[in-house]
């Protein structure tokens, strides 16, 4: 594809994405499946520019009196970040039509500097999120791997990556983690195919570690999803004991058997529903949430959640916690995780749970968090902040049944 055609494709995709009706990666994947003639280099260019537009949507919106079109957003982004793209608005075959005099005048009227990154947050959330975290999440997420300790060690994987010319380093905090210097298709590499590594953000690794799953325990991952944390728990348990994986949407679990087999995670058992449940040493609830901690990798997500949806999510979380709590053994733990930075979903939710359940007590996670990260936590619960740890945002709380 010529550069002009690639830019026009970005404009068309931006127009489709600005409705924020579904995740951007779903739209992109569907587009590329429908246009298989687009080569890998063109796909990379188009996808990278689309994500760049989405990372600047709040700032670009502030420059207009109405909702921006894909054309306006791409032109303004080009004005600020890469003026070499502006001549591509030339009207040639498959190219964007030339900028009108009105559009040129609008671009000329823009402030000399890009508006501040704190605008990348919906108004209803601004008071609840830290400005530093909002700004930190405007940058792309790193590509982190979790070394599967059931099969190998981190130093071994680093040597194999180096042998293949892939630049990587240890993550700062997780003893399992490896951070790639560049984004590559690691799923095509033998390290992934042979189950030696999984793609998992360092923050997700850290909250998994804080759960303290032990070999020989009976554990359930209550909201397992695709099973990333389930696999991490299995490694912590050395594949000894029993680890159940459940999810209200069972189709999310469809790839977990293959992933578990690849990882050698032989202690994982899938549950098709929540009937006939037992009592467990550890019940891990990675609860559905607004996902405000994941904006680095899903910049469109910040514009897809409403205040009304957030309130519904908080109610759902409480219901899940109450149900999960009834299946914790005496002396066992209920471990609560969100990938949100909202207090209502985190500290407030944990406090409300304790008020409803006098038979549980809070466990202090701060010593373990300090050992892992060197950061002193001020409370018994843990909040992973993107502005401090450069991971996705997470919250974790641990409750012990008396």
Mean pLDDT of 295-305: 96
Average of per-residue pLDDT across 244-256: 96
> Band of the pLDDT at 18, cuts 50, 70, 90?
very high
- Which of the two residues, 323 and 183, has the higher pLDDT score? 323
Residue 224: what are its φ and ψ, rounded to 5°?
A: -70, -25
Site of tokens 């009196």: 65
Task: Measure the CA–CA gap between 85 and 105, rounded to whole angstroms.
Answer: 17
Structure tokens belonging to residue 378: 């001020």
pLDDT (tens digit, 9 = 90+) per residue, 307-325? 999 999 999 999 999 999 9
pLDDT of residue 45: 95
The 3-state DSSP class for residue 380 equals: coil
Percent of the chain scoring above 90 in pLDDT: 96
Q: How far apart are alpha carbons 346 and 278 in whole angstroms?
A: 27
Tokens of 122: 């919906």
Model pLDDT for residues 269-280, shown as the tens digit of each residue: 999 999 989 999
Across the chain, mean pLDDT equals: 96
For residue 349, give Cα distances in angstroms to 346, 352, 395: 5, 5, 11
pLDDT at 65: 83
pLDDT tier at 333, thresholds 50, 70, 90: very high
Residue 66: the pLDDT is 86
Which residue ranges form the domains of the chain, and what is each CATH number?
3-115 (no CATH), 143-200 (3.30.70.1170), 203-401 (3.40.50.150)
Dihedral sign, Cα of residue 96, residue 97, residue 101, residue 103:
negative
Q: How far is residue 153 from each of residues 72, 139, 146, measured CA to CA in Å?
A: 49, 30, 10
CA nearest to 39, candidates 181, 47, 70: 47
Distance from C-alpha of 136 to C-alpha of 252, rounded to nearest angstrom:
30
Residue 306 has pLDDT above 90, yes or no: yes
* Residue 285 binned pLDDT confidence (cut-offs 50, 70, 90): very high
* Catalytic residue of the set 121, 223, 289, 339: 339
Does residue 378 carry a pLDDT above 90? no
369 vs 376: CA distance, rounded Å = 7
118 noted as active-site residue? no
Task: Kindly indicate the confidence band of residue 262, based on its pLDDT and cuts at 50, 70 and 90.
Answer: very high
- The two tokens of residue 399 are 């409750």
> What confidence category does residue 37 fall into, taking pLDDT thresholds of 50, 70 and 90?
very high
Cα distance between residue 225 and residue 6, in whole Å: 35
Q: What is the mean pLDDT of residues 193-198?
A: 98
What confidence score (pLDDT) does residue 200 get? 98
Q: What is the pLDDT of residues 49-98, one digit of tens each?
A: 999 999 999 999 999 988 999 999 999 999 999 999 999 999 999 999 99
- Alpha helices, H only, 70-189: 70-81, 101-109, 131-136, 154-163
**Model confidence over 113-145: pLDDT tens digits?**
999 999 999 999 999 999 999 999 999 999 999
Do the Cβ atoms of 341 and 175 come closer than 8 Å? Answer: no
Grade residue 156 by pLDDT with cuts at 50, 70 and 90: very high
For residues 280 and 241, is the Cβ–Cβ distance under 8 A? no
Distance CA 198, CA 177 (A): 10
Interatomic CA distance for residues 221 and 231, integer angstroms: 10
């Amino acid at each position: 594809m010529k550069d002009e055609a690639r830019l026009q494709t970005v404009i068309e995709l931006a127009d489709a994405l600005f409705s924020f009706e579904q995740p951007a990666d779903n739209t992109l994947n569907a587009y590329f499946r429908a246009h298989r003639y687009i080569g890998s280099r063109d796909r990379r260019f188009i996808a990278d520019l689309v994500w760049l537009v989405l990372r600047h949507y709040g700032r670009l919106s502030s420059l207009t009196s109405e909702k921006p079109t894909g054309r306006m957003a791409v032109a303004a982004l080009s004005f600020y970040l890469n003026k070499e793209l502006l001549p591509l608005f030339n009207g040639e075959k498959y190219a964007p039509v030339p900028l009108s005099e009105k559009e040129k005048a609008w671009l000329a009227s823009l402030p000399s500097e890009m508006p501040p990154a704190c605008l990348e947050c919906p108004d209803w959330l601004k008071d609840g999120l830290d400005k530093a975290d909002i700004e930190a999440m405007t940058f792309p997420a790193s590509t982190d791997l979790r070394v599967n300790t059931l099969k190998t060690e981190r130093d071994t994987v680093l040597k194999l990556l180096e042998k293949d010319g892939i630049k990587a380093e240890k993550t700062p905090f997780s003893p399992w983690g490896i951070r790639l210097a560049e984004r590559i298709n690691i799923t095509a590499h033998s390290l992934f195919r042979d189950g030696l590594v999984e793609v998992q953000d360092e923050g997700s690794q850290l909250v998994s570690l804080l759960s303290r799953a032990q070999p020989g325990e009976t554990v359930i991952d209550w909201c397992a999803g695709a099973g990333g944390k389930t696999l991490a728990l299995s490694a912590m348990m050395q594949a000894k004991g029993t680890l159940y994986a459940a999810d209200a949407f069972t189709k999310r679990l469809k790839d977990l058997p293959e992933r578990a087999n690849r990882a050698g995670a032989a202690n994982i058992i899938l549950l098709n529903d929540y009937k006939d449940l037992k009592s467990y040493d550890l019940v891990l609830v990675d609860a559905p949430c607004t996902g405000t901690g994941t904006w680095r990798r899903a910049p469109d997500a910040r514009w897809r959640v409403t205040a009304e949806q957030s309130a519904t999510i908080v109610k759902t979380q409480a219901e899940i916690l109450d149900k999960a709590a009834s299946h914790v053994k005496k002396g066992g733990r209920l471990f609560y995780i969100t990938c949100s930075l909202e207090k209502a979903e985190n500290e407030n939710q944990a406090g409300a749970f304790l008020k409803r359940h006098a038979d549980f007590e809070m466990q202090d996670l701060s010593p373990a968090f300090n050992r892992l990260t060197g950061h002193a936590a001020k409370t018994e619960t843990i909040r992973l902040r993107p502005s401090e740890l450069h991971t996705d945002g997470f919250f974790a709380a641990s409750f012990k049944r008396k």
